[in-house]
Each structure stands twice: as C-alpha cells, then as structure tokens.
Amino acid sequence: MTSTAAPTSTTRTINLRNGLTVTITEYGAPGDGTGALVLHGGAGPRSVAGFAAAMSQHAYVVVPIHPGFDGAPRPESFDSVADLASAYLDLIDELGLTSVMVAGNSVGGWIAAEMGLRDNHGRITALVLLGSTGIEPEPPLEIANPANLGPVKTGELAFFKPELRPDFSALSDDQKAGMAANQRALAVYAGDPFCYDPKLRGRLHRVTVPVLVLAGEQDGIVPLGYGRALADSFPRATFRSIPEAGHFPHIEQPGSVFGAIGEFVDTEVKPDGE
C-alpha cells in the first residue's frame, strides 16, 4: 500500500433507523463504499484516535462514540454489546458502505465479533481484534476489571511503557469526572460477568470472514493466553502477539500492529491483490 497524508477528520451526528443518535468522527470520504469502522473500548474514543488517523492513510475510516461515552446520550434501554453491534450495522448501511473492515480494541473487539455474527447483509469483509474481550476466560485466566483495580493500577496493567501510563495527579476534575463517566458506561455494556458472554465462543464458528487477533505480550488486563483462545474460536483467524505492548498495542507498538494488519490484508483479505 502506498502511504499518503492522513485526511482531515470531521465529526457529525447521525440518526439511525431505530431512533438512536450516534456521533462519529470520519477520516476521508466513503467514495466507492469501502472503509474501516474502528471501535473503542472502555478508555473511550481518544484511545483509538491515533490508530484511526494512521489507518485513514489507506482507507475511509469511521470512529463512533458509544452512547454513554464522552457525554454522548445513551437511552435507558440501550444497554448491551448486542445493542451496539446492531446499531453499528445500521450505521454501516446509513453510510452506504458495502465492504468494511471492523477493528476493535478491548470491548470494541467484542462488539466487532458480535457484528460479524449479525452481518446478514454481507457488508463486513474482515475483523481486527486488539486486546479484545468477549469470550469466557478459561481458569486461571481472568479479565481484569478497572472498577476493582482503580485507575493507577489499571494504568500499570494496561501499558508496558511507564511513560504512557496516565498521570492522574495531573488531570483536572473535569477530566477525572469524564473518565469516571466512561467507566460507568463500560460497566453497563460489559455486564455481569464482566466483559464476556459465556455463550459467545460457541457461536463464533459462524463468523466466516478472516479475523486477525492481536494481543500485547505484556497485557495485564486481558492475558495473552486469552487472545490465543479467542483466535482459536474462529474458523479463519490469524493470531499475532505484539512484544513490548500491553492492552493498547496500537498505541505502544503501532509499527508492529500495522505491519501485522498489512500482512493480514495481503494474505487473507485480498490474497489476489484486488
């Protein structure tokens, strides 16, 4: 792929058929109906902004804000990952996209997997799951819950590089309140048990598109072995571990992540160079 300057981002609000309002940031224009949908996890949309901007050098990219995050309204009845997956399939239709790679980090990966299961219009061409949750962990593996850890410990487990861990002493009260609100929204969607559906693994054999599972080797939130088990749950999955990275490999090791995505596209998504 030939790299070009990243397009300028624009933000707008879209009303979906079910009455839900979703705010999206777009990079580029849909053009021929192809593009990428990038889904954030509990850390909010800023945690995937750099990844989306870099991806936009090669494609039209859309980043929605999950209702309830960053001040976006969330209807009381809109409270599950399944709701998000269905809404974003409607969003793809609304945008006129016919060929979409869906990439998700953490719970965003879980949403992506659920979209793959529900894509009865055949819009999704591939999934990229980064530090993804969704399936039940096999003991002794566990998914760490930030609500139980507190922000400082969560940062230590989430990032391999100390310099990338948030300095909460430097945050304003408004920033801290925003992070707390995002965690409350995460708790609504992640449910109980936290961040997985015990029945999901048994359904993933129905996802027929190629899947790339990327896992940070030092991820203290979602263990490396969990990522391997997730990849094994799909019929067409490629697993890659990312050294010197935690729960956000796209932030800590973007070169390795994009290298893996490029190889995945060339060998699994478009092996004939289409």
Beta bridge partner(s), residue 128: 103, 212
Residue 271 is predicted with a pLDDT of 82
Range of the domain at 51: 9-269
- Mean pLDDT, consecutive 10-residue stretches, the chain (274 aa), reads 63 93 92 94 96 94 97 95 98 96 98 98 97 97 94 95 92 91 96 96 98 98 98 98 98 98 95 69
Residue 274 is predicted with a pLDDT of 58
How far is Cα 105 from Cα 44, in angstroms, rounded to an integer? 10
Judge if pTM exceeds 0.85.
yes
Predicted confidence (pLDDT) per residue in 99-116, tens digit? 999 999 999 999 999 999
Residue 50 is predicted with a pLDDT of 96
Spatial contact of 244 and 154, defined as CB atoms under 8 Å apart: no
Helix (H) / strand (E) containing 107: helix 107-118
Task: Look at residue 2 and tell me if it is in a domain.
Answer: no
Task: Look at residue 114 and tell me if it is in a domain.
Answer: yes
Residue 56 is predicted with a pLDDT of 94
Tally of structural domains, the chain? 1
How far is Cα 148 from Cα 270, in angstroms, rounded to an integer? 42
Residue 169 is predicted with a pLDDT of 86
Predicted confidence (pLDDT) per residue in 50-66, tens digit? 999 999 998 999 999 99
Task: Look at residue 4 and tell me if it is in a domain.
Answer: no
How far is Cα 197 from Cα 172, in angstroms, rounded to an integer? 35
Residue 119 is predicted with a pLDDT of 97
Spatial contact of 105 and 248, defined as CB atoms under 8 Å apart: yes
> What would you measure as the largest C-alpha separation in the chain, in angstroms?
52
Residue 141 is predicted with a pLDDT of 95
What percent of the chain stands above pLDDT 90?
Answer: 89
Task: Look at residue 155 and tell me if it is in a domain.
Answer: yes
Q: Which phi and psi angles does 182 have, rounded to 5°?
A: -65, -40
Task: Look at residue 255 and tell me if it is in a domain.
Answer: yes
Task: Look at residue 78 and tell me if it is in a domain.
Answer: yes
How far is Cα 153 from Cα 165, in angstroms, rounded to an integer? 10
Token pair of 60 as six digits:
């039209």
Task: Look at residue 190 and tell me if it is in a domain.
Answer: yes
Token pair of 175 as six digits:
């920033």
40: amino acid identity, one letter: H
Residue 1 is predicted with a pLDDT of 42
Task: Look at residue 1 and tell me if it is in a domain.
Answer: no
Residue 7 is predicted with a pLDDT of 67
Q: What is the CATH number for 20?
A: 3.40.50.1820
Spatial contact of 102 and 39, defined as CB atoms under 8 Å apart: yes
- Which residues make Cβ contacts (< 8 Å) with residue 153, sequence separation at least 6? none
Burial code of 1-16, b = ≥16 C-beta within 10 A, e = fewer?
eeeeebeeeeeeeeeb
How far is Cα 145 from Cα 183, in angstroms, rounded to an integer? 10
Report the 10 Å Cβ neighbour count for 181: 15
Instruction: Assign 3-class secondary structure to 12-60.
Output: EEEECCCCCEEEEEEECCCCCCEEEEEECCCCCCHHHHHHHHHHCCCCC
